Structure 1
Amino acid sequence: MTSTQVTLIQIDNYGPWTVTPEPRREVDLQTLQSRLYADLSQLFGNREGYVFFTRFDNMIAVTNGLDRDAHALIQESVRNRYPVTISLGVAVDERPAAALGRASTLLQDAGSAQDETRQEILQGDPLPEAERGPEDVQIAHFDVNDATGKYTDQLNAFDTFIHIEQGYAELMRYMRNAHDSLSFFVGGDNVIAVCPDLAEEEYRDAVDHVRDMVGVELKVGVGRARTAQDAGMQAKHALEVCREHRTDVELDWRLEEAGAGDSF
């Protein structure tokens, strides 16, 4: 059974700040958002977590292994580097979407995201070390089949983007509704999904659903581990087996049982 620890990252009072004392240039706001995401990716990544940008003013992290002190240090680092602060809500659940729901409620109960008096909230209880296990996090790394041949080398860049985004949007909706999973576009033609304990057939159903609904063909490698980064690397290795063997779904632990993952 999975125990996914999710941290909701919310920039404090960001909307009003962008227009105070007058509207700020969009290029400056985009630069701040991208730099903040990059720094948070490194700050959480140095502690074996994953951060996904979503809307940039709200970001979602998988943070198994990070305690309250680690979260507070990240808040301090942001405060020292940026003209904005961040609030953090932390929750744990077998189902990633349920964990995010509780993390969201913690911040909502502390005040509005546009309330100037709500700053650097840190709410929630990280997963105690004694309750952590070797299979707490399950990560699925989806990839579009032959995206370069079908789209990049055939269509203009914007139409290619439309096709990739259609696949991502349908996958995101399906995995959320069917499995309480959280799926995130991570660039190129890649989507990473944070999942509960799903079986091979359930991943195969997701691949079939996206193909049938929007005509985008996917493959997926799946890993599970104690932390998000370890599970993500296992998923990458399984995805490489998909590419090599031209299969749609590979589970890293099945490959290990069969001895197919030895080359990695």
Structure 2
Amino acid sequence: MTNTQVTHVQIDNYGPWTVTPEPRREVDLQTLQSRLYADLSQLVGNRGGYVFFSRFDNMVAVTNGLTVDDHALIQESVGNRYPVTMSLSVATGTTPAEALGTATEQLQEAGSAQDKSRREILRGRAIEEEYRTGEDLQIAHFDVVNATGKYTDELNEFDTFIEIEQGYAELMRYMRQAYDSLSFFVGGDNIIAVCSAMDAEDYRDAVAHVSDAVDVELQVGVGRGAVAHEAGMAAKHALEECRATGEEVHVDWSTTDAEPPA
């Protein structure tokens, strides 16, 4: 069993803001979204967590190790630097999908994403220190086998993008439906999944499913830890084993020696 802490990040009243008093330039909106994501990634990452951009106006963070007070400080920092505010909802669960479901429900109960009066909501609870362990999080790092040789050096960029995205979409869907796990594209040909208590055979099943469904070959390294940074680094090292040995799945159940950033 995993013990995942997830934070649902939602920009307040973002849709109406983008067209008030008149539609804003798309380049300005894209710049704001990307800078906000970068800042959140740094603010959460400095505390050992991960942020995934999702739809940009909504983001998902894995925040094991962060307290509610940590969230309040991050929220305040964003409010001081941006023309928009954001609401945060924190929840825990035995699977990542369960935790995110609770976090989303808490935000929805506080009001609509386009409610002008809903501002900087902070709801939920964090895992108390006494209940945290080095096995709380299981993170998998997937990438496409020989993406450069098969796609990047052979196809035009858009067709390469289609192939990679097909693999991602099928993996994302299957991991959610079959294993209550959340998968996120993180650039290049890389996908990071925050997982339930899966074993090596479960990961082989997911890889085989994607290969059968969309003909995209994946390999995956898996790690675990008390915070996302720790589990993610173990997963990265496990993926390097796949690349070196040709293994399809490499699972590292020991925690990495890497420490969360100070």
TM category (shorter chain) comes to over 0.9
Structure 2, unaligned runs of 5 or more: 258-262
Q: Which residue of 1 aligns with 2:31?
A: 31
Q: Return the offset for 1:222.
A: 0.2
CA deviation map 1:95-120 (0-9, x unaligned): 10010000000000000000111000
Q: Which residue of 2 aligns with 1:159?
A: 159
CA deviation map 1:185-211 (0-9, x unaligned): 000000000001111000000000000
Amino acid at match of 1:35: R
Q: Which residue of 1 aligns with 2:245?
A: 245
Q: Which residues in structure 2 correspond to 1:83-162 (within 5 Å)? A: 83-162=83-162
Structure 1 residue ranges (4+ consecutive) displaced by more than 3 angstroms after TM superposition = none
TM-score (norm. length: structure 2): 0.97
CA deviation map 1:109-165 (0-9, x unaligned): 000000111000000011111111110000000000000000000000000000000
Amino acid at match of 1:183: S
SS in 1 for 2:241: helix
What is the rounded CA distance, in whole Å, between the counterparts of 1:88 and 1:54 in structure 2?
15
What is the rounded CA distance, in whole Å, between the counterparts of 1:164 and 1:250 in structure 2?
21
Amino acid at match of 1:87: S
Q: Which residue of 1 aligns with 2:168?
A: 168
Identity, % of aligned pairs?
A: 72
Number of equivalences: 257
Amino acid at match of 1:18: T
Q: Which residue of 2 aligns with 1:198?
A: 198
Matched, 1:235 2:235: yes
Q: Return the offset for 1:94.
A: 1.0
Q: Return the offset for 1:48.
A: 0.3
Q: Return the offset for 1:252.
A: 1.2
Q: Return the offset for 1:63.
A: 0.1
SS in 1 for 2:178: helix
SS in 2 for 1:134: coil
TM-score (norm. length: structure 1): 0.96
SS in 2 for 1:116: coil
What is the rounded CA distance, in whole Å, between the counterparts of 1:100 and 1:181 in structure 2?
10
Give the RMSD, CA atoms, in angstroms: 1.2
Q: Which residue of 2 aligns with 1:45?
A: 45
What is the rounded CA distance, in whole Å, between the counterparts of 2:35 and 2:107 in structure 1?
23
Q: Return the offset for 1:59.
A: 0.1
What is the rounded CA distance, in whole Å, between the counterparts of 1:227 and 1:199 in structure 2?
19
SS in 2 for 1:186: strand
Q: Return the offset for 1:233.
A: 0.3
What is the rounded CA distance, in whole Å, between the counterparts of 2:186 and 2:252 in structure 1?
20
Q: Which residue of 2 aligns with 1:64?
A: 64
